[in-house]
Chains A and B, each alone.
Chain A
Amino acid sequence: MERYKKDFPIFLSWASKGKPLHYLDSAATAQAPLSVLRAVRNFETRSRANVHRGIYELSEHATEAYEGARSRTAKFIGARFPEEIVFTKNTTESINLLAYSLGKSFFKKGDRILLSRAEHHSNFLPWQMLKEEKGIALDIVDSDENGEISFSSVEAALTKNTRLAAFSHVSHVLGSINPIEEMGALFRKNGVLFVVDGAQSIAHVPIDVGRLGADFFAFSGHKLGAPMGIGVLYGRKEIFGSLEPFMRGGGMIQEVSTEKASWAEMPARFEAGTPNVAGAVGLDAALTYIEGIGYANIEERDRALVYAMVDGLSAIPGVRVYGPKDANTRGGIVSFSVEGVHPHDLATILSRDGVSIRAGHHCAMPLMEFLGVPALARASVWVYNTPDDIRALARGIEHAVKILRT
């Protein structure tokens, strides 16, 4: 088995059943390497206890592991302080937390939020909520015919009342990498808070929140090989530290009386209740795994596979590939349609040969409407994928066409 593939037990387990797994849905969830699974098991069997509470040795071990994961995450994405990292459940919770907390004290009626039409519902609906609840207006930037959001269209959409901009780093449908750095500089200059949805970028491109100019950066652990149920919200301390908490409960207070309460400093303020410590430990191990491979290596592999995919799929009659044509501006995702073949039928037929792709509207209904399609098929890659997976995809598409057309 190929070098990186063998680090992931799921591929060994499928191969041993005689049905090799061609997993092409890492943009939804990446597979977990053995080192992550081991780290989680070691925590559960040796150090499991609640954090920040107990004075006993076990709780101290657990707290060290949890806070160690926080420090590691901070360093990994270039945050200045560990406390700028708040652990959540996933990207969705990160952005909901932020929208709720900003809605409490930051926004006032008439403020405007800048978004793109290509956002995942999780970076759209929390802001739409503020529109309904706070009387805030949303300005929507469209992508061009290649699915790319141009810097000039972002610049043109900026108004003097724009107080926040929320963009995905890499589009989960079109795969396009947005010009986040230029956008960050523009927003900083205009005093606009910048929220970056990093769900699709964190596993593919190196992140430095300072360089990106992001005030907030959200991502999910499960998209980079960590367990499901651990996510991150990075926030620049100067702003994040002034916000109201999202949830109230244990572990997030300064003082409580029957009349009132005051809040702990961040990150504790935003982490009410017992956190997902095993998940944080798994995230720590996943970051170690990625550092071992190196982003330069990941990007090179991505490019080669995406290039092969765009090339291979475009060569099949009736296949239309969406998004940027240039593999250098894609982050491991290729969405496509096959004339006369519904994405669901395609996914079902591919699945029989162990080829796993995503089919549907990808939680981006406003974008689907813009593209004029009810659904698309999406194939996405990560470190374990090989040219053989791409060939299996192309074979499967040809097979599906044979069954369903005529």
Chain B
Amino acid sequence: MEDSLYQNRILAEYRAPKNFGLKDDFTHQAKAANPVCGDSIVVRLKIQNGIVREASFKNIGCVISMASASIFLESIKGRAVEDVRALGPDTPLSLLGIPLTLGRLKCGILVLEAVGKAL
């Protein structure tokens, strides 16, 4: 039986994250950290004409935060900055699509916090 949290889909993102490794070509950058566990993420975005053209990240974190960063950043590429700014925690959490306990929620939304700061 497949693990409800550590599903193959999530583990695949963790093992081969998309947009991992900071790109030199960027316009916006921000860092977010989870003081509870010491995890951190740096996000770089390239914005052109109000559109997110490129996104990359580097982090120290668990499976959940890695997978979330991979999936979420991929999802905002090509979208209007205005729209991305309006996104709440539900977006990365529903993209993850796994049941997170209260103690792990922050792992799932750290990338959103970094993107919010960058914008």
A residues bordering B, Cβ < 8 Å? 342-345, 348-349, 359-361, 365, 368, 374-375, 403-404
Closest to A342 in B: B62
Q: Interface of chain A, helix or strand or loop or mixed? A: helix
A-B contact sample (19 more), CB < 8 A, given A343-B62, A374-B37, A404-B63: A342-B61, A342-B62, A342-B63, A343-B37, A344-B39, A344-B62, A344-B104, A344-B107, A345-B63, A345-B64, A348-B5, A348-B101, A348-B104, A360-B36, A361-B38, A374-B40, A403-B3, A403-B11, A404-B14
Cβ of B104 and Cβ of A374 under 8 Å apart?
Answer: no
Cβ of A344 and Cβ of B11 under 8 Å apart?
Answer: no
Cβ of B6 and Cβ of A404 under 8 Å apart?
Answer: yes
The docked-state distance in angstroms from the alpha carbon of A343 to that of B37 is 9
Name the distance in Å between A173's Cβ and chain B's nearest Cβ: 12
Name the distance in Å between A343's Cβ and chain B's nearest Cβ: 7
The docked-state distance in angstroms from the alpha carbon of A349 to that of B101 is 12
Name the distance in Å between A404's Cβ and chain B's nearest Cβ: 6
Q: 30 interchain pairs (CB within 8 A)?
A: A342-B61, A342-B63, A343-B62, A344-B37, A344-B39, A344-B62, A344-B64, A344-B107, A345-B6, A345-B62, A345-B64, A348-B5, A348-B101, A349-B6, A359-B37, A360-B37, A361-B38, A365-B38, A368-B38, A374-B37, A374-B39, A374-B40, A374-B60, A375-B38, A375-B39, A403-B3, A403-B6, A403-B11, A404-B6, A404-B11
Chain A residues positioned under 8 Å from B5 (CB to CB): 348
Cβ of A375 and Cβ of B63 under 8 Å apart?
Answer: no
10-57 of chain B: CB within 8 A of chain A: 11, 14, 36-40
Name the distance in Å between A165's Cβ and chain B's nearest Cβ: 27
66-116 of chain B: CB within 8 A of chain A: 101, 104, 107
The docked-state distance in angstroms from the alpha carbon of A360 to that of B40 is 12
Name the distance in Å between A278's Cβ and chain B's nearest Cβ: 28
The docked-state distance in angstroms from the alpha carbon of A348 to that of B61 is 14
Name the distance in Å between A397's Cβ and chain B's nearest Cβ: 15
Closest to B11 in A: A404
Chain B residues with a Cβ closer than 8 Å to the other chain, count: 18
Closest to B39 in A: A374
The docked-state distance in angstroms from the alpha carbon of A375 to that of B33 is 13
Chain A residues positioned under 8 Å from B36 (CB to CB): 360
Closest to B36 in A: A360
Chain A residues positioned under 8 Å from B60 (CB to CB): 374
Name the distance in Å between B44's Cβ and chain A's nearest Cβ: 20
Name the distance in Å between B9's Cβ and chain A's nearest Cβ: 14
Cβ of B62 and Cβ of A374 under 8 Å apart?
Answer: no
Name the distance in Å between A338's Cβ and chain B's nearest Cβ: 12
Name the distance in Å between A319's Cβ and chain B's nearest Cβ: 17
The docked-state distance in angstroms from the alpha carbon of A235 to that of B61 is 42
The docked-state distance in angstroms from the alpha carbon of A359 to that of B37 is 7
The docked-state distance in angstroms from the alpha carbon of A86 to that of B11 is 52
Chain B residues positioned under 8 Å from A365 (CB to CB): 38
Contact of A361 among B6, B37, B64, B101 (CB under 8 A): B37
The docked-state distance in angstroms from the alpha carbon of A404 to that of B104 is 17
The docked-state distance in angstroms from the alpha carbon of A403 to that of B107 is 19
Closest to B15 in A: A406
The docked-state distance in angstroms from the alpha carbon of A359 to that of B60 is 14
The docked-state distance in angstroms from the alpha carbon of A207 to that of B66 is 45
Name the distance in Å between A72's Cβ and chain B's nearest Cβ: 36
Name the distance in Å between B28's Cβ and chain A's nearest Cβ: 24
The docked-state distance in angstroms from the alpha carbon of A115 to that of B20 is 40
Chain B residues positioned under 8 Å from A343 (CB to CB): 37, 62
Cβ of A375 and Cβ of B37 under 8 Å apart?
Answer: yes
Chain A residues positioned under 8 Å from B14 (CB to CB): 404
The docked-state distance in angstroms from the alpha carbon of A342 to that of B40 is 13
The docked-state distance in angstroms from the alpha carbon of A360 to that of B39 is 9
Chain B residues positioned under 8 Å from A360 (CB to CB): 36-38
Name the distance in Å between A121's Cβ and chain B's nearest Cβ: 11
The docked-state distance in angstroms from the alpha carbon of A375 to that of B38 is 6
Chain A residues positioned under 8 Å from B104 (CB to CB): 344, 348
The docked-state distance in angstroms from the alpha carbon of A359 to that of B14 is 19
Interface centre among B37, B38, B40 (most CB of A within 10 A): B38
Chain A residues positioned under 8 Å from B40 (CB to CB): 374
The docked-state distance in angstroms from the alpha carbon of A404 to that of B63 is 8
Closest to A362 in B: B38
The docked-state distance in angstroms from the alpha carbon of A375 to that of B40 is 11
The docked-state distance in angstroms from the alpha carbon of A375 to that of B5 is 21
* 10 nearest CB pairs, A to B: A342-B62, A361-B38, A374-B38, A344-B62, A360-B37, A375-B38, A345-B62, A374-B60, A345-B63, A375-B37
